[in-house]
Amino acid sequence: MAETVIVPDAATGGALAADAIESLVRARPDAVLGLATGSTPLTVWRSLAGRGLDFSRVRGFALDEYVGLPPGDPRSYRATIDAEVVDVLGLDPALVHVPGDGLSGAELAGAGERYERLIAAAGGVDLQVLGVGRTGHIGFNEPGSSFASRTRLKTLMRVSREDNARFFDGDVEAVPMHCVTQGLGTILDAGRLVLLAFGEAKADAVAAAVEGPVTASMPASAIQLHRDVLVIVDEAAAARLRFADYYREVWDNRPAWSR
Ligand code: GLP
């Protein structure tokens, strides 16, 4: 089921995504979650934290990581995931994986394949949380990424580095140029995708992701190839959706059994 839900604000959106994760973890205490960094999913983790759920057996796989930051650097996605997700939810750090974690140079060869094997050994990701970048990236799959791509090294677009410069004292040159990211094919293998986007800066990417065309030039449009996608957007991010009224109608009139 592909569903786009337009919510009044980010907190409501985060709570809705948290509902989906809560049902999963209640049904499957050792569920495999696909974890995303960025500002957008923070509302999800915050909402989940107050629900009295036991996350101690939940397994986690992050989408991506910068290449070249020293191990333990607070701006690394490993540190971010630890602070914003692992600590907040009470996950077991040993069960949470980040691609290319702490590796550099030649050590990175084969990191993608090893990460893919880890995900496969866990039985695959049950639910993948996604944000979207202004370039349309999910994970760090920039335009041109193959829909069949797997975890691998990528080069960031300048605009993505500019967007992330806020975590590097505004210095775009300090933002690493390379990263390791799950591929679009890896992401599409997850059982369910939950993509969140808030604010007007995301309106173009959201419209292109949800309503197409499906093209590698807009990596987030790959979600249209997945059969179970929940897209959660606020009014500002929904501003350029052609069928916004229809999505509202679908949500407002959803049958009781599907609520
Ligand atoms: C980051 C991450 C993505 C994230 C996106 C949007 O650079 N690599 O996984 O979805 O860009 O970030 P934000 O939610 O802060 O807007």
- Over residues 139-147, mean pLDDT: 98
Element (H, E) at 35: strand 32-35
pLDDT tens across 46-91, in order? 999 989 999 999 999 999 999 999 989 999 999 999 999 999 999 9
Please count the other Cβ atoms lying within 10 Å of the Cβ belonging to residue 67: 20
Q: For the residues of 128-183, what is the DSSP string, one character each?
A: EEE---TT--BTTB-TT--TT--SEEEE--HHHHHHHGGGGTT-GGGS-SEEEE--
Give the phi and the psi of residue 104 in degrees, each rounded to 5. Answer: -145, 165
Best of 39, 128, 137, 166 for a ligand 1 pocket test (most atoms within 8 Å of beta carbon): 137
Cα–Cα distances (Å) from 247 to 162, 198, 220, in that order, read 32, 16, 19
Distance 131 CA to ligand 1 centre (A): 6
> Residue 151: what pLDDT?
98
Q: What is the pLDDT, as a whole number, of residue 103?
A: 79
Question: What is the value of pTM for the model shown?
Answer: 0.97
Buried b (16+ CB within 10 A) or exposed e, 200-211: eebbebbbbbbe
108-125: per-residue pLDDT in tens?
A: 889 999 999 999 999 999
Nearest CA to ligand 1 atom 12: 38
pLDDT at 198: 98
Q: How many angstroms separate the CA atoms of 92 and 60, rounded?
A: 9
DSSP secondary structure letters along 188-237? HTSSEEEEEE-SGGGHHHHHHHHH----TTSGGGGGGG-SSEEEEEETTT
Cβ of 80 closer than 6 Å to ligand 1, yes or no, is no
**If you measure from the C-alpha of residue 142 to the centroid of ligand 1, how many angstroms do you get, rounded to a whole number?**
12
Query: Beta strand 96-97 with 152-155: parallel, antiparallel or unpaired?
Result: unpaired
Neighbours of 123 (CB within 10 A): 12
Helix (H, G, I), strand (E, B) or coil at 71: coil
CA nearest neighbour of 25 among 64, 43, 52: 52
Phi-psi region of 68 (alpha: psi -120 to 50; beta: other; left: phi over 0): left
Burial of 146 (0-12, 13-18, 19+ CB in 10 A): middle
- Give the CB-side neighbour count of residue 206, counting CA atoms within 13 A: 30
| 229 Cβ below 6 A of ligand 1 | no
Which phi and psi angles does 183 have, rounded to 5°? -80, 170
**102 pLDDT above the threshold of 80:** no
